[in-house]
């Protein structure tokens, strides 16, 4: 069974639009943040940033299974907008396919960045079953969300 989801995240960064955009467009800069998270081990990040260009990375999130990320860029309007689609596989099973839109706008001396993700989640897979795991994830997500909001307040 397939399920669809959309979410939007908005951030303000104290940096000019050009610089924030460069963090997406420049492969070296992108590697420094995209897969570089605590508890996430990312290898083989490759980025060819132009319409029709692709991006690839493999990662492990505290589990032995590898997930594979493959993206294709569709729109790369400098300092304005990026549109790309990507698939996520867990081992050899496709989990989801998403369309991501990143929009950039000047806001004061900084940059407002809006990320919209529209995705289809393809099927059941074994990383989580039952509501306890779901609840735990959800509560953790909320706690992180709140901690972030407090840190930025």
Residues in contact with other proteins by the rule CB under 8 A: 3-7, 9, 11, 13-15, 19-20, 23, 29, 32-34, 36-37, 95-96, 98, 113, 115, 117, 119, 121, 124-125, 128-135, 137-142, 144-146, 148
Tell me how far, at minimum, the Cβ of 54 lies from other proteins, in Å.
19
Q: What SS3 string covers the chain? A: CCEEEEEEEEEEECCCHHHHHHHHHCHHHHHHHCCCCCCCEEEEEEECCCCCCEEEEEEECCCCCCEEEEEEEEEEECCCEEEEEEEEEECCEEEEEEEEEEEEEEECCEEEEEEEEEEEECCCCCCCCHHHHHHHHHHHHHHHHHHHHHHHC
Which of 51, 134 has the CB closer to other proteins?
Answer: 134
Tell me how far, at minimum, the Cβ of 77 lies from other proteins, in Å.
19
Which of 78, 123 has the CB closer to other proteins?
Answer: 123
Tell me how far, at minimum, the Cβ of 68 lies from other proteins, in Å.
15
């Amino acid at each position: 069974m397939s399920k669809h989801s959309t979410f939007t995240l908005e951030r303000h960064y104290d940096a000019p639009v050009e610089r924030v955009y460069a963090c997406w467009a420049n492969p070296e800069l992108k590697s420094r943040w995209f897969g570089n998270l605590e508890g996430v081990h990312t290898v083989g990040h490759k980025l060819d940033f132009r319409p029709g260009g692709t991006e690839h990375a493999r990662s492990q999130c505290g589990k032995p299974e590898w997930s594979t990320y493959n993206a294709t860029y569709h729109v790369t309007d400098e300092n304005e907008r990026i549109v790309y689609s990507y698939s996520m596989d867990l081992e050899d099973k496709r989990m989801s396919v998403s369309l991501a839109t990143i929009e950039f706008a000047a806001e004061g001396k900084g940059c407002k960045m809006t990320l919209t993700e529209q995705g289809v989640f393809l099927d059941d897979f074994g990383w989580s079953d039952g509501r306890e795991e779901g609840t735990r994830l959800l509560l953790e997500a909320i706690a992180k969300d709140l901690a972030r909001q407090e840190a930025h307040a």
